[in-house]
């Protein structure tokens, strides 16, 4: 944990890349409603979040598949949990929902050497 803007996301993106280059199986999970953890790994492009994807799939009556929410680049598997818009709910609930979905997708059966979690500086509930 740490204050916003001190380089947590930058550090974890680079650390995950370095470990993957050393042959480790790494998963980087962004746990911030801003969903910007993985943009460095994906050339500035945002990846779909678990929260957004889950809502869209539910509305369409389709199940969420791991390939809908987990992406790979340069040997690093990465995903964004997402969360509510600023001032429109609790960021902590987004984190809980994301991890519940990962559990349903068999997260504990995945064979990662390292799972890095990039948490936001503070979890506030508003709106």
**What's the CATH number where 45 sits?**
3.40.50.300
Active site (annotated) includes residue 24: no
Decide if 98 is inside a domain.
yes
Which of 58, 72, 113, 122 is an active site residue?
122
The model's confidence at residue 98, banded by pLDDT at 50, 70 and 90, is: confident
Coil, strand or helix: which one is 117?
Answer: strand
Residues constituting the chain:
127
Q: What angle do CA 30, 70, 57 make, to 5 degrees?
A: 100
Decide if 3 is inside a domain.
no
Residue 57 has pLDDT above 80, yes or no: yes
Residue 1 has pLDDT above 50, yes or no: no
Residue 56 has pLDDT above 80, yes or no: yes
Decide if 84 is inside a domain.
yes
Decide if 105 is inside a domain.
yes
What is the domain count for the chain? 1
Decide if 25 is inside a domain.
yes
Q: Among 9-18, 52-61, 76-85, where is mean pLDDT lowest?
A: 76-85
Decide if 52 is inside a domain.
yes
Tell me the mean pLDDT in the region 52-72. 93
Residue 16 has pLDDT above 90, yes or no: yes
CB of 54 within 8 A of CB of 86?
no
More confidently predicted of 83 and 40: 40
Decide if 1 is inside a domain.
no
Residue 65, domain extent? 8-121
Tell me the mean pLDDT in the region 15-42. 90
Active site (annotated) includes residue 34: yes
Decide if 87 is inside a domain.
yes
More confidently predicted of 24 and 110: 24
CB of 99 within 8 A of CB of 45?
no
Residue 69 has pLDDT above 50, yes or no: yes
Which of 34, 36, 57, 68 is an active site residue?
34
CB of 78 within 8 A of CB of 71?
yes
């Amino acid at each position: 944990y740490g204050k916003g803007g001190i380089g947590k996301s930058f550090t974890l993106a680079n650390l995950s890349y370095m470990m993957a280059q050393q042959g480790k199986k790494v998963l980087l999970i962004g746990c911030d409603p801003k969903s910007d953890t993985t943009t460095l790994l994906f050339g500035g492009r945002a990846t779909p979040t678990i929260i957004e994807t889950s809502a869209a799939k539910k509305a369409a009556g389709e199940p969420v598949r791991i390939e809908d929410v987990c992406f790979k680049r340069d040997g690093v598997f990465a995903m964004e949990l997402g969360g509510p818009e600023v001032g429109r709910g609790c960021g902590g609930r987004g984190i809980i929902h994301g991890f519940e979905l990962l559990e349903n997708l068999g997260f504990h059966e995945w064979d990662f050497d390292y799972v890095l979690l990039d948490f936001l500086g503070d979890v506030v509930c508003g709106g």
